[in-house]
Amino acid sequence: MSFWERRRVRVTGGGGFFGRRLVRRLESERPAAVVAPRSSDYDLRDAAAIERCLRDARPDVVVHAAAAVGGIGANRSHPGKFFYDNAVMGIQLIEAARRFGVGKFVCLGTVCAYPGETPVPFREADLWNGYPEPTNAPYGLAKKMLLVQLQGYRAEYGFAGIYLIPVNLYGPGDNFDPETSHVIPAMIRRFTEAAERSLPEVVLWGDGSPTREFLHVDDAAEAVVLAAERYDAPEPVNVGTGSEIAIRDLAAKVARLTGFSGRIAWDRSKPNGQMRRRLDTTRARETFGFAARISLDEGLAQTVAWWRAEGRAAVR
């Protein structure tokens, strides 16, 4: 019998970019049910709504993928909201899941929880060796507190909660809103529009020197499924590709894919954010057999094609 057979799964954030792909991947395992209602049905900032949600769903497994997220600009504009929303959603949900007897809890953290000066590659043992990069520290710390809660609940109550640390996700269906999108969808939208309008220049934040690691959303969904099945320990686990790319090189790739041939300029008055991000993914490979399969070039091409064929129509 498979791990998922006869189990009911509750996915928070199931209507979001990652949540939709995760639900699809979970459904392929044919569990007893996958329940992914919208925030309009159950506001996870409201303890009473969480209790009602768990009573209605009766889950054996909870995957907490809901988050208030955004790029550097959104984090700078809404540090209080990002801290409160992420902390209160997770803390209340974990407590309610414990009391309702949920058998497995999978919590998605964030690479933003790592200290700003973490040696590369980021190893899970470095997570507490400093303060997160200031531009997104409130978000990172709110998510980091959920790891503390899960470890405390495992020690005191035997609660089977695990904590995954994914890098920046991207792929078809991503958030392309100019105010809240992350770097890849933001670049795709700006370069596509600039190419279509024959603009001579696109200006991007920072100086292009920082590096980032990106994980395709379908690889991330696979990692969650494998971790839920095979991993049950208190230590956090990095989930990524183990490779990094400079933002200026990423911009050049996106420009080529979108047909933009103008100049890429850099606004050095804007923050770079953390200078380097690359994960050590050894623990994920050794403990639950995850290795990313979709290359960045392949994933970028998919995402650009989706934006042209479906995405722009959806946001108009």
Which two three-digit tokens encode residue 199?
Answer: 């603009």
Identify whether 179 is part of a domain.
no
Identify whether 271 is part of a domain.
no
Q: Which of 84, 114, 131, 139 is catalytic?
A: 139
The pLDDT, as a whole number, for residue 316 is: 58
Contact 105, 97 (CB under 8 A): yes
- Give the model confidence (pLDDT) of 111-170 as tens digits: 999 999 999 999 999 999 999 988 889 999 999 999 999 999 999 999 999 999 999 999
Contacts of 244 (CB under 8 A, 6+ apart): 120, 211, 212, 213, 276, 277, 278
The pLDDT, as a whole number, for residue 77 is: 86
* CA–CA distance, 91 with 96 (Å, rounded to integer): 9
DSSP assignment of 216-249, as one string? EHHHHHHHHHHHHHH---SS-EEES-S--EEHHH
The pLDDT, as a whole number, for residue 260 is: 97
Tens-binned pLDDT, residue by residue, of the chain (316 aa): 689 999 999 999 999 999 999 999 999 999 999 999 988 899 999 999 999 999 999 999 999 999 987 777 777 888 999 999 999 999 999 999 999 999 999 999 999 999 999 999 999 999 999 999 888 899 999 999 999 999 999 999 999 999 999 999 999 999 998 877 889 999 999 999 999 999 999 999 999 999 999 999 999 999 999 999 999 999 999 999 999 999 999 999 999 999 999 999 999 999 888 899 999 999 999 999 999 999 999 999 999 999 999 888 766 5
CATH number at residue 65: 3.40.50.720
Range of the domain at 158: 8-174+214-242+277-294
Please report, for residues 20, 168, 201, the alpha-carbon distance to residue 209 in angstroms, rounded to integers and kept in the order given.
Answer: 33, 17, 19
Identify whether 180 is part of a domain.
no
Contact 122, 114 (CB under 8 A): yes
As for how many domains the chain has, the answer is 1
Identify whether 227 is part of a domain.
yes
- Give the model confidence (pLDDT) of 264-292 as tens digits: 999 999 988 889 999 999 999 999 999 99
Identify whether 302 is part of a domain.
no
Please report, for residues 172, 258, 262, 267, 300, the alpha-carbon distance to residue 252 in angstroms, rounded to integers and kept in the order given.
Answer: 20, 10, 11, 16, 12
Identify whether 91 is part of a domain.
yes
The pLDDT, as a whole number, for residue 180 is: 79
Name the phi and psi angles at 10, rounded to 5: -110, 125
The pLDDT, as a whole number, for residue 179 is: 79
The pLDDT, as a whole number, for residue 47 is: 96
Question: Is residue 139 annotated as part of the catalytic site, yes or no?
Answer: yes
Identify whether 200 is part of a domain.
no
The sign of the dihedral angle between the CA atoms of 181, 186, 192, 195 is positive
Q: Is the pTM of this model over 0.85?
A: yes
Give the distance between the most distant pair of CA atoms in the chain.
61
Identify whether 52 is part of a domain.
yes
DSSP assignment of 75-91, as one string? HHH-HHHHHHHHHHHHH
